Amino acid sequence: MTSQRTRERLIQRLYEEGLSNARVLEVIRSTPRHLFVDEALAHRAYEDTALPIGHNQTISQPYMVARMSELLLEAGPLDKVMEIGTGSGYQTAVLSQLVERVFSVERIKVLQDRAKERLVELNLRNVVFRWGDGWEGWPALAPYNGIIVTAVATDVPQALLDQLAPGGRLVIPVGSGEVQQLMLIIREENGFSRRVLGAVRFVPLLNGPLA
């Protein structure tokens, strides 16, 4: 089920669902998603669905990975992107092929350690990792041209807004329970513009690192 045909079927589906950034679609096509899930689930790796990765976390569905990546790149190339929620490392791997540098924060150390190994295996070496609280971001290396959050926050963390460069873009799911909305926030000259992009479903963005 990890054949090229299965991958092509996934790309066709994403295209039919309105995704049109050729570069993003090509990276989704060429990134081996089956390496980012447990072997028992590898046969489902190219379905357009989220899958469990342990620790009450999931690998995001390919549509959402592609959609959030498209939104980040909508205004052109980015050189410095922070990812909140390394998780399996799949979104990290996709981003690392689309932007110059990725700074990825994850609170669950065992997940991040596994993700690091996968990226080394794929020879993706433009990613720096931090084990820490996603609500805090990574202020020491701010500002960032783009920030992508792969878990739902009850509200937009002020720390992430503060770490966004002028003109920078933040893609984040916001809400609680069943009511979650994907948002695009852009740092303008006089504050922030916000676009609500529709209903989504993510695991919650929690405080505090876990070994």
This prediction has a pTM of 0.94
Residues 115-122 have a mean pLDDT of 96
**pLDDT tens per residue, range 169-202:** 999 999 988 889 999 999 999 999 999 999 999 9
- Using alpha carbons only, give the angle 56, 173, 142 rounded to the nearest 5 degrees: 100
The answer to whether 66 and 45 have CB atoms below 8 angstroms apart is no
**pLDDT tens per residue, range 122-162:** 999 999 999 999 999 999 999 999 999 999 999 999 999 99
Which parts of 12-95 are beta strand (E)? 51-54, 57-59, 80-84
Catalytic residue among 3, 20, 60, 193: 60
Contact residues for 170 (Cβ-Cβ < 8 A; gap 6+): 146, 147, 148, 149, 156, 160, 161, 164, 183, 184, 185, 186, 187
Reported confidence tier of residue 39, pLDDT bands at 50, 70, 90: confident
Q: What pLDDT, on a 0 to 100 scale, did the predictor assign at position 62?
A: 96
Is 80 exceeded by the pLDDT of residue 209? no
| Residue 60 appears among annotated catalytic residues | yes
Q: What pLDDT, on a 0 to 100 scale, did the predictor assign at position 211?
A: 58
**pLDDT tens per residue, range 40-92:** 899 999 999 999 998 888 999 999 999 999 999 999 999 999 999 999 999 99
Is 60 exceeded by the pLDDT of residue 1? no
The answer to whether 28 and 8 have CB atoms below 8 angstroms apart is no
Q: What pLDDT, on a 0 to 100 scale, did the predictor assign at position 206?
A: 87
Q: Residue 142: what residue type?
A: A
The β-bridge partners of 112 are none
